[in-house]
Chain A
Amino acid sequence: MENLKKVLKFISSMRFAIILLVILAAACSVGSLVTQNQTYAWYAARYSERTAALIVALHLDDAFHSWYFILISAFLCLNLLLCNVIRLPSLIKRTAKENTLRSRIGLWGAWVTHLGVLLLILGFSLGQMTHREYAAYGVPGQSMPIGDTGLVMTIDDFRIDLRADDTVEQYTSEITVYDIARSSEGRSASLSVNNPADLYGLRFYQNSTGWAATVNIKKGDEDLQEAVVCAGDYLVVADRPDLVIYFNAFYPDYVLVPGQGPATMSSKPVNPGYLYSVYYQGQMLGMNVLMSGEVLTIDDYSVRFSQPQSYTLIQIKKDSFTSLAFAGGILILLGLLLSFYVKPRKPEAKETEDASS
């Protein structure tokens, strides 16, 4: 019992808090200096085999999710919780003794700050553990299911607002989301960068954009299939599942730079070039650039790329603990304000207007 008390006293102590903070700062620093979430081969190529082994062994490749980082954070939460619980009775007593409202409130600064940090860590950690994240991309007119939510999203419109110098001012997507199981009527929203939209408890963010093209496949003289394919995506030939056309990249104003490869002169699709590769039974047969109007022939099949257009990538997220984390943040600000500017002044800390006196 005595030992337990000693342990609890240490865990709730300021000394322990300082030790944890210093270790946390060190762990954060190292984590920021090592590029995160790369493979062993990547680290070995960048540093050396020995360093790569050390990085992986010490979980520095994913420092912010490592067992020791979680352990330090957990101990910090425990420290803050115990500290606040232990201090609460004496704080209430001291508050009762203070004469003015200002002094009474001011006494709670550190306690409120600690509570804020605790809520912030809890909100962030719980959010990390429970959040759901989906991505949906396509061109106007396309619909797609949103993960396992049972919702379907239709992209009604996608605009890229350009300035006079061709730089992008804003990306805007108009979407409608349907809860098909409940109603045939959807809910619409407009979202742009910095202006997410909330629908059905999910938050929709305008994430990025890219190029898409219409891929037309003919077998002999007959139209076999036509689909809009985004760059980075592939199309399986309808009657030959072992034959796949992969749309690697799009060059709106194609130019072949000697020694460097394909490039684009501008962002306007004035001379479209489509970089593709063909896979047969999982093996790459070849890769090349197809210009607008050109046809790729593979046995009986002829493939044509056309109608380049921008697609929108929408990030969809549900994090029920964001508000808890932000409540923690507000408490931190409030607590610091109380601590620094409302706190009852101790006689020895009284400022002298003339510091040199």
Chain B
Amino acid sequence: MLQVENTLFTIVMISYFVAMIGYFIYIAAKKEIFFKIAFGIQAFGFVLHTVAIICRGIGAGRLPLTNQYEFATSFAWGLCLLGLVFMLRFKFHVMGAFIMPVVFLMIGYAAMQSKEVRNLMPALRSNWLGFHVSTAIIAYGAFGVSFVLGIIFLLRDRLSKHGFLDQHIPDKQKLDLIEYRSVALGMLFLSFTIITGAIWAERAWGSYWSWDPKETWSLVTWIIYAVYLHLRIRRGYKGKGAAIFAVIGFVCVLFTYIGVNTFIPGIHSYK
């Protein structure tokens, strides 16, 4: 099963790369057929990605969400899923050209991690771990989408010089609204992540909050998005100010996930 997962993972990586190029061609050629091809390849990659994760779970005999590789590939899966959902939901086709590089970078990061399947230490053998990490995947995926939308918002004026993009990128008001939708989804799931993590920590380590670096940075991320949500209500901050916070928020997400594991030791540093 793990061999199958390995093969599928390689095909997924290639699919995502081809889909990314496909979206670029769609913008350059300005032809809808290229969107359909790129979208089809992305969707195909996503289905294989789902199968690969399931194979990993069967091969490992547990939820495949416990080490840096498994979370990285699931993070890329979440980004891809939310990208597809938002593209379809808001018929925002050119978003594919912006989200796929992020998905590809994340799966590339996963490819650099050790794929070794290790037995779980007792503290990680908890049903709460499944809830904690799976909600994090959706949260991070949604924040990834809001990051991309924040970037598009900030570049909107420059992109409008390109006639095709100007026609196919929503106006700033709608961009802001879609970005808000993704942040709202991410915020809800991040709250689930933090709370289920706290329940798990209480049962495993006897303390539901111990200012572990990862806990602290997930709180910092939560605060950044809380500021985002409050800024949107304030007059004058909707739009650019909120977009900047959406970008900063995702930088915090990446630091929480990669930076903390790499630079700051703590109880989450499972390698």
Contact between chains at B231 and A18 (CB < 8 Å): yes
| Interface 0/1 of A319-337, CB less than 8 Å to B | 0001001100110110011
Stretch at the interface among B10-18, B29-37, B164-172: B164-172
Contact between chains at A355 and B122 (CB < 8 Å): no
Whose C-beta in chain B lies nearest to the C-beta of A351? B177
Shortest beta-carbon distance from A234 to chain B in Å: 26
| Interface 0/1 of A145-182, CB less than 8 Å to B | 00000000000000000010101111100000000000
Contact between chains at B167 and A205 (CB < 8 Å): no
| Interface 0/1 of A335-351, CB less than 8 Å to B | 01101100000000101
Contact between chains at B264 and A32 (CB < 8 Å): yes
Contact between chains at B122 and A194 (CB < 8 Å): yes
Dominant SS among interface residues on chain B: helix
Contact between chains at B206 and A207 (CB < 8 Å): yes
Instruction: Give CA–CA (A24, B125) in the complex, Å.
Output: 33
On chain A, the residues within 8 Å of B122 by CB distance are 168-171, 192-194
With A36-B211, A193-B122, A340-B188 in contact, do A315 and B170 touch (Cβ < 8 Å)?
Answer: no
Within A192-221, which residues are at the interface with B (CB < 8 Å)?
192-196, 203, 205, 207
Whether, in the assembled complex, B47 has its beta carbon less than 8 Å from a beta carbon of chain A, the answer is no
Whether, in the assembled complex, A64 has its beta carbon less than 8 Å from a beta carbon of chain B, the answer is yes
Contact between chains at B121 and A194 (CB < 8 Å): no
Contact between chains at B123 and A193 (CB < 8 Å): yes
On chain B, the residues within 8 Å of A339 by CB distance are 184
Contact between chains at B170 and A355 (CB < 8 Å): yes
Instruction: Give CA–CA (A317, B217) in the complex, Å.
Output: 26
Interchain pairs with CB closer than 8 A, number? 127
On chain A, the residues within 8 Å of B198 by CB distance are 326, 329
Out of A14, A196, A325, A355, which one reaches B178, CB within 8 Å?
A355
Q: A18-B234, A32-B220, A332-B195 are known; give 18 further A-B pairs, CB within 8 A.
A: A18-B227, A18-B230, A24-B223, A25-B227, A28-B223, A167-B119, A167-B121, A170-B125, A171-B122, A194-B122, A194-B203, A195-B203, A317-B206, A329-B194, A353-B90, A354-B90, A355-B90, A356-B92
Residues on B facing A (Cβ under 8 Å): 90-92, 119, 121-123, 125-126, 128, 167-170, 174-175, 177-178, 181, 184-185, 187-188, 191-192, 194-195, 198-200, 202-209, 211, 213, 216-217, 219-220, 223-224, 226-227, 230-231, 233-234, 260, 264
Residues on A facing B (Cβ under 8 Å): 14-15, 17-18, 21-22, 24-25, 28-29, 31-33, 36, 64, 124, 163, 165, 167-171, 192-196, 203, 205, 207, 315, 317, 322, 325-326, 329-330, 332-333, 336-337, 339-340, 349, 351-356
